[in-house]
């Protein structure tokens, strides 16, 4: 199965994606990660105003197969969270790069971005091989 990895996004080796808009970072998980998890049944996200740190857990996603930690690719403060997904976590699979975003973070400093961040092509090569 071919997965979609939009070019305008950045990707982490823990399968989160980032959409960078100035110092506002929208974070979600990739189509590949959702496929690996299977049916998502529960999602835990931070509260507004919480701080997140690079490489640290900011929430969990639970499926019928596994529970996985969600890792932050940036230091910053949570400005928004996708409460609709908390009510119906299974809908994350419908549009992971659009309506399926998880949180929006005001980055403390863009220099704090995870230095392992990949382009769409690099991420695709890592997860699907070339």
| Residue 74 scores a pLDDT above 70 | yes
| Residue 130 scores a pLDDT above 90 | no
Give Cα 5 distance to the centre of its chain: 12
Structure tokens at 105: 């973070």
Mean pLDDT confidence for 54-81: 95
CA 107/CA 43 separation, integer angstroms:
23
Tell me which residue of 93, 98, 122 sits closest to 1, measured CA to CA: 93
pLDDT recorded at residue 111: 81
| Residue 114 scores a pLDDT above 70 | no
Model confidence over 6-45: pLDDT tens digits? 999 999 999 999 999 999 999 999 999 999 999 999 999 9
Higher-pLDDT residue of 69 and 116 is: 69
Which domains are present in the chain?
A: 10-128 (2.40.50.100)
Beta carbons of 18 and 75 less than 8 angstroms apart: no
pLDDT recorded at residue 128: 85
pLDDT recorded at residue 1: 61
Mean pLDDT confidence for 101-127: 90
Q: Tokens 């950045």 — which residue? A: 10
Q: What is the pTM of this model?
A: 0.94
């Amino acid at each position: 199965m071919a997965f979609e990895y939009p070019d305008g996004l950045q990707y982490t080796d823990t399968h989160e994606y980032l959409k960078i808009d100035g110092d506002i970072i929208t974070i979600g998980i990739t189509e590949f990660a959702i496929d690996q998890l299977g049916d998502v049944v529960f999602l835990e996200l931070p509260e507004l105003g919480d701080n997140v740190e690079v490489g640290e857990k900011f929430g969990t996603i639970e499926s019928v197969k596994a529970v996985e930690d969600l890792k932050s690719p940036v230091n910053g403060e949570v400005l928004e969270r996708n409460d609709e997904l908390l009510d119906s976590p299974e809908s994350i699979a419908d549009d992971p790069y659009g309506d399926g975003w998880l949180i929006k973070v005001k980055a403390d400093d863009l220099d704090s971005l995870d230095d392992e961040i990949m382009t769409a092509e690099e991420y695709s090569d890592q997860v699907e091989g070339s």
